[in-house]
Amino acid sequence: MKNPSYNQVCTGKTGHAESIQIQFDPKVIPYEKILDIFWHTHDPTTLNRQGNDVGTQYRSAIFYHNQEQKEIAEKSKKELEKEGFYKDSIVTEITPFGNFYVAEDYHKNYYENHQDAPYCNFIIDPKVRKLLLKYGNDVKEGYQ
């Protein structure tokens, strides 16, 4: 489906995944660091689920743009599995980038615009705090 709405994606019938697209300068932040943040801010061991959100649209996925990104992502995943950081197997798919459709305005910057919402307080906020402890100003500056 081309340019699905958020509500259509939430049905789980479009084949799309709820995701973000990151544009970055590898001289400022290396791809490996972005992957490290990715692995530690969600559960890559649950198939088609993130917290209470269930469905294929909530699958854990990395969409790579070139062969180098693919290889780095696969290596990162293997190292994390070998390290045993998660007790369950990592189910994150590493797949080529296809299309990215920008969310409707009401769903953009959700955390920033809904900080009083229970999901933001209990799910997102602890992850942001954990990132700030690990990366400090790197995360603050990159978030702006």
What CATH number does the domain containing 21 carry?
Answer: 3.30.1060.10
Phi, psi (rounded to 5 degrees) for 88: -95, 160
Greater model confidence, 58 or 135: 58
Question: What are the CA-CA distances from residue 119 to residues 112, 114, 139 (Å)?
Answer: 12, 9, 21
* 137 and 72 in a common domain: no
Q: What's the number of domains the chain is made of?
A: 2
1: in domain: no
- At 142 the pLDDT is 46
Q: What is the mean pLDDT of residues 104-117?
A: 86
- At 141 the pLDDT is 52
* 87 and 25 in a common domain: yes
135: in domain: yes
Q: What is the mean pLDDT of residues 36-41?
A: 89
Say what percent of the chain tops pLDDT 90: 52
Greater model confidence, 68 or 111: 68
Q: What is the pTM of this model?
A: 0.84
**Residue 142: partners with Cβ closer than 8 Å, 6 or more residues away:** 28, 29
12: in domain: yes
- At 143 the pLDDT is 46
Range of the domain at 40: 6-104
* 98 and 117 in a common domain: no
* 71 and 136 in a common domain: no
* 136 and 96 in a common domain: no
* 34 and 90 in a common domain: yes
Reported confidence tier of residue 64, pLDDT bands at 50, 70, 90: very high
